[in-house]
Structure 1
Amino acid sequence: DATSTTSAYIRFGRTTGTPCGLAKKILGQTAGWTGAPSDFRESLVKKGHQIDSLSDKWFINHCRWINWKLLSIERRFCRFLANRYFNYDRVSSLLESRFIKEIKEGKRSTLRKVLNRDVSSKKMMILCIAQVFCKRVSNDSGQIIAPSFTLELTDGWYSILARPDQFLSSKIEEGLLCEGRKLLISHADLCGGEDGVDPLDSDYEPGPGNNVPCLCIYGNGTRIAHWRSKLGFILTKHEESKEMTNSLKVERIKDIVPGGGNVPRIVLSIRERSPLQFLETSQDGSVRRVITEGAEMERRLLLEKRQSGFVELIHAEIEAECSKEVDEDAPEVWQRHISKYGGVDSMGLPTEEKQQLESWQQKRQELIRRRLKEEIDCKLEEQGLVYIPSKPFLRLLVGDDPSKGKTQSAYITIWEPSESQMEKLQEGSSVQMDCLAVKDEMFQGMLQLSANQRTPMVVITAQQSRLSNAQALLNVHARSKSSSSNSTYLDIVGSILETSVTALGWQMILTDRSGLVLRLESFESIDPPSPTAGAFPVLLFRKLKVMEFDKLAQCAVAEFTADSSFSTDPLDPAVKCLKEWMSSEEGKLRYSTHRCYVQAQLACIPLRGDSAAVKSIGYISDFEVRSRGHLVIKVVCGVGSIQTWQLPLRLIARLKYLKDTEPSVVVLTRDDEESIGRLSSLGFLLRIKGLLRFVVLPKSQGQEWDGEVVDVGRANMGALSRIFEQVLSNQSE
């Protein structure tokens, strides 16, 4: 019946050397029995060892773990080792071996190094569960809410208390983690004992309720080890990189436990990378909003301009006050010259006084400069003109290593990414990351991970796909709006919405999970791509030339040149990711919806929260009064299709406000200009030069018009990109 708790009480027969029973006291001796600490001390002395410095606690501790180890081995292989393996001579021999290693050679075990805080507790190690302590937590009525577990873990030499997280606690309750089970632990946190403790200290007694250091272990950093695994640190033949430490590698995203602590290490494939964004926070921290890199630059320049103007107004006054304050502590020779001559002139002065004046002049300038800066900073803070830097972050859609076969996706946010990380985190690359934080809540049914500029990252070049440069349409839109877009060539993965043949060649409309649209054109004598049969054709296009953004159609444009090519390689991670999403229920619904919009030549995107409402970009070309309560307007959308929508009179005030603001420029045809000229003054109020953003509900049965406008506003040329960002923000909330 001996366990890890009572193994130190085991005694052996003096003549046979086999286990006889348990002593009543741990230091007590029984007639005819041996195995007490004093017996092992005497045995070491007889072998010629100097053990004066060894305490009884050293013998009790090591006898406990040696006895439990040998007893467990004999029990497991009782058919071969029963009554032969666990005996006094073997225990005495192992004690002598430990004395030589620990006392004479100065070697320390894994947990002793961790408790001494000479080695980080985050290193990967294998420990064994020695005891499981359970505390039942109940409410005021006496009903048990949830059990609280504490473990005693051992490396075979010493032990430490461990506090499992909620996920591991559930496995303990299921009986999966029990006494004798070996655990592979990585990225554990040592709580308490900041200055380090020694397991042989008199006040170190691992047990529930004792004030001793505790090891916090987490589900994402803990695995069940093989029963034959050697306890202690896991050593590798070589480190993969100087940036990385030896850590437990999580193989797949599906193995990550939400709320189960940080992910020690994982290899992720970058599928989509959003542009760099900034999180702006107000001074009191109550308001937070996401802005683009350009908006952050504008905010900083505006604040610097206001600061400069304010400082110009107060600089002279504050400088005079600071000079007066500093001169109060000036040396006597300086004050004498100021009061007598109104200034300082060192000509004709003794050398000593001249040196004093020169020394004070230099010191005075530095003191005035320092006081001036302090006073100006204080005034700026009072006026609310202190710059509060926004926090930059990078949003990525990542997936499992493509070599793993069927993969899953997750979102990861890199806070304040470094330049080195920005270079490594390219779409299509496989990156090994350490210590990723995991949010408890999901986003779009996917995990949310986060990292920062201190997160170690290494590009795994050997596992990169040969088709790993495909860009998301969000980045293509950004490149298409850039002034240097005509010299940009990109690889793109998209799903085909429509293909048509034109007089000069052919064009194809593509989309992806962002909902943005790319018009692919070809003016070469090249046949259009014909993908294999399927409900959602997905193609990878290589070396497409990015053209100027089409503001009227609100879509990016690219050209399929003679150097371009396409493929349907299912092993490419970007193709695989898009195909998996297109096969989901959400993907099927959004694909069919976007296809209807494209066929109707509408540049629009569905709104989150209201599956019926859509956003559309266009301008009003004509109107007609149908009844007292509303107007019917004709709107030119997309590439020229005219839609008839009902416009409530309450939105006329909104249009008047838009008319008073400076409109954006849109190129109109001669027919459109003549149509405008035929409109009355009300028509000029409704029809504003520039693109408008409409929120439209489709028509109900029996209506003559195509839809009802529920909101209207000025459409920015980058409206669709911001709409997509707004969709993500709404989903996050």
Structure 2
Amino acid sequence: MSNVLEELKYRYEREVNHGHRSAIKRILEGDASPSTMVVLCVSAIHSTCDMKIGTHSVSINGSENSNAAKVELTDGWYSIDAFLDALLSKQLFAGKLFIGQKLRIWGAGLCGWVGPVSPLETSKTAGLLVHINGTYRAHWADRLGFCKGVGPPLAFRCIKSNGGPVPQTLVRVTRIYPILYKERLSNGGSIVRSVRMETKMMQLYNHRCSTVVEGIISEFQRGTRDSCINNDNDSEEGAKIFEILESAAEPEVLMAEMTSEQLASFTSYQAKLEAIRQSDLQKSIEMALEGAGLSTREVTPFMRVRVVGLTCKSYEGKIHHKEGLITIWNPTEKQQFELVEGQAYAVAGLMPLNSDSETLYLQARGSTTKWNPLSPLAIEHFEPFLNPRKSVLLSNLGEIPLSSEFDIAALVVYVGEVYTAAHQKKQWVFVTDGSVSELGSEEASNCLLAISFCSPSVDDSFAPVNSNLEGSTVGFVNLIKRAKDQMNQLWVAEATENSDYFFSFDLPHCYHLKNAAASAERWAKISSLTIEKLKEKVLFIIGDCKG
């Protein structure tokens, strides 16, 4: 009994007199984030819960989980309930989580919490949301409470697609894809556009809006619209003065004879009248824009980054470089311009979505995701994995596996007409690079590459590719190789959302195409006859050849 009293006295001294608070107390009182790394101990295991908080369902990892388990966690001073996600619940039911076990929890959430509350007064519905991607076994001697430093990152290959947010992991960037824009339509659908197409769409939208606004303003200037002002003494007197001045031959003379009170009433009325006119004009513009289908556009920029997990050199298991594709919504300028292909990063704030046998798909918010580059010294501890971009020649395209990405610099021989298929506008572009110079050789079938471009069919005013590209040397990146057209002896590639093309080769993302582009240009200058024959071949293939 004396030991209990001494313990209570010690805790009173720590909490009340010295203001020391435990981790759970600080979280429940709103002075610490539940996502901070903390070591807690399993103090009790409750039966399976249905995750109902009042009349609302609590979701873990974005989906409701009716088979989640609930345990009690303690920091040695206070306790709190914790709702486990499906994967952690399986670990619990398998006996891998038990009373007395210490857990290192990172990136947890808090549910059923409405505001600062004492741990002794918290409701039974409040608790931590714990997921497997942020939960690790702790050493039995680890101190309970908040961790002073950041723990080791979760290995990329260990990320579970339905295991909740990833506090931190290590990756190497292998590909950075161009910025895209997703527009949400009024019918609930959406459209993804490239920077080039979004710029054209924005110009068209602004032009249509300007036309509508100019028409409404013109109508207001021509028409007479009565504006109603609430009747008060100032407005009534100001209205009378306004009418007198409007009908007067020399209003300046009348104004000079007015008293200061009359001038104040007139000025006040005039200001109110102008404010009402502007309000009416704004409402008319908004109604006209809505009627013309020109409501405010909901457009969100995003970018995709392909990564591969880092493997420590001391790892004794079978090395498998797990790939991931990260979609960053609303990327910051720093992320757009400072992320570098080939660089290794410690990334915090990723949310896995799903996965297949080869790729893990994740998403992130630009403002909440941190990309910290690893130092050269830190990178030395991991297995090397380099896959730099390189320019592919048509003569070597057979070495590229089907469905793989490749980059190429080539001369545009012909830009086909736009046609509609499967609710998309499609267009074929035929290119060559001169790497196979003689049409009569056995390798003549390697001379041409047909690239399929597509864009949303709702963008009626825009072609995926401008016909002015014909005769230009263009750099294409992130094309997908498709099966060869054996009948027409053509290489075939598809330009996806992640594909892009450039005319300048001095930028970092297309500098690797500079030498190939220069070679193609030199070949084009001395091969006009060959290029003409290739164009005739294309026209024959697409059925436009006459004679």
The DSSP-based 3-state class of the residue aligned with 1:197 is coil
Per the TM alignment, residue 492 of structure 1 is displaced from its structure 2 partner at its CA by 3.2
2:11 to 95, 98, 116: 98
The aligned residue for residue 230 of structure 1 is 143
Q: Which residue of 2 aligns with 1:121?
A: 34
Counterpart Cα distance in 2 of 1:125 and 1:271: 33
Residue of structure 1 equivalent to 2:99: 179
**Alignment counterpart, residue 280 of structure 1, candidates 168, 183, 197:** 183
Q: Which has the larger radius of gyration?
A: 1
Cα gap change, 1:606 to 1:358, in 2 (>3 Å):
closer
d(CA) in 2 for partners of 1:448, 1:498: 34
Mapped to 2, the partners of 1:493 and 1:672 lie a distance apart of 25
Counterparts of 1:415 and 1:97, CA distance in 2: 50
Check whether the contact 1:597–1:603 (CA below 8 A) recurs between aligned residues: no
Whole-Å separation in 2 of the counterparts to 1:275 and 1:174: 45
Give yes or no for the alignment of 1:307 onto 2:209: yes
1:394 is aligned to 2:303: yes
* Alpha-carbon distance, 1:234 to partner: 0.6
Distance 1:361 1:234 in 2: 66
Q: 1:365 & 1:455 partners in 2: Cα distance?
A: 45
User: Which digits, 9 at most, give the CA deviation of each residue in 1:77-118, with x for residues without a partner?
Assistant: xxxxxxxxxxxx544443332222123223221111111122
Residue of structure 2 equivalent to 1:434: 348
**Counterpart among 302, 306, 322 of residue 408 in structure 1:** 322
Give CA deviations for 1:184-236 in whole Å, capped at 9, x if unaligned.
Answer: 111111112312221233xx5xxxxx733111101111111111111111113
Distance 1:173 1:381, change over 3 A: same
Which blocks of at least 5 consecutive residues in structure 2 are unaligned?
Answer: 51-64, 414-429, 436-441, 454-480, 493-523
User: Match for residue 701 of structure 1?
Assistant: none
Percent identity, aligned pairs only, is 25
Check whether the contact 2:76–2:144 (CA below 8 A) recurs between aligned residues: yes
Map of 1:614 onto structure 2: 483
C-alpha distance in structure 2 between counterparts of 1:124 and 1:446, whole Å = 28
In structure 2, the CA distance between the partners of 1:321 and 1:221, relative to structure 1 (3 Å rule), is farther
Task: Identify the residue that residue 242 of structure 1 maps to in structure 2.
Answer: none
1:191 aligns with 2:111: yes
Counterpart contact for 1:122–1:189, Cα < 8 Å: yes
Secondary structure, counterpart of 1:390 in structure 2: strand
Matched, 1:163 2:83: yes
> In the alignment, residue 336 of structure 1 is paired with which amino acid?
K
Q: How high is the TM-score relative to the length of structure 2? A: 0.68
1:415 CA drift (Å):
0.6
1:266 aligns with 2:169: yes
1:268-314 deviations in Å (ceiling 9; x for gaps): 221101111111221121x2222111111111111111122222222
Match of 1:380 in 2: 289
Q: Who is 1:687 aligned against?
A: 544
8 Å Cα contact 2:42-2:98 kept in structure 1: yes
**SS of equivalent to 1:342:** helix
Q: Which of 265, 275, 278 lines up with 1:356 in the alignment? A: 265
Q: Is the 8 A contact 1:604 1:614 kept in 2?
A: no
> TM-score scaled by structure 1?
0.52
Between the aligned partners of 2:220 and 2:431, the Cα distance in structure 1 is 54
Contact residue 181 and residue 227 of structure 1 kept, 8 A: yes
Q: CA deviation at 1:509?
A: 8.6
Name the CA distance, whole Å, in 1 between partners of 2:443 and 2:296: 45
CA contact (8 A) 1:319 1:372 kept: no
Task: Return closer, same or farther for 1:598/1:350 CA change in 2, 3 Å cut-off.
Answer: farther
Q: How many residues align?
A: 433
Q: 1:497 to 1:149 in 2, by over 3 A?
A: same
Q: Matched residues in 1 for 2:528 and 2:491: separation? A: 15
CA contact (8 A) 1:183 1:222 kept: yes
Q: 1:518 to 1:194 in 2, by over 3 A?
A: closer
The residue type paired with residue 492 of structure 1 is: R
1:302-701 equivalence runs, <5 A: 302-318=204-220, 324-326=226-228, 331-342=235-246, 345=252, 346-401=255-310, 406=319, 407-439=321-353, 441-443=354-356, 445-463=358-376, 492-493=389-390, 515=404, 518=407, 549-552=410-413, 554=431, 600-603=446-449, 614=483, 637=490, 686-688=543-545
Structure 1 unaligned blocks of 5 or more: 1-34, 36-88, 138-144, 205-209, 237-245, 473-490, 500-507, 520-547, 559-595, 618-632, 640-665, 690-733
Task: Give the secondary-structure state (helix, strand or coil) at the position aligned to 2:351.
Answer: strand
Distance 1:551 1:320 in 2: 53
Partners in 2 of 1:264 and 1:293 — Cα distance? 31
Residues 606/669 of structure 1: CA separation in 2 closer, same or farther (3 Å cut): closer
Q: Which secondary structure does the structure 1 equivalent of 2:193 belong to?
A: strand
How far is the alpha carbon of 1:636 from its aligned partner? Answer: 7.8
Relative to structure 1, the CA distance from residue 269 to residue 340 in structure 2 (aligned partners, 3 Å threshold; closer, same or farther) is same
Q: Output the amino acid matched with 2:135.
A: T
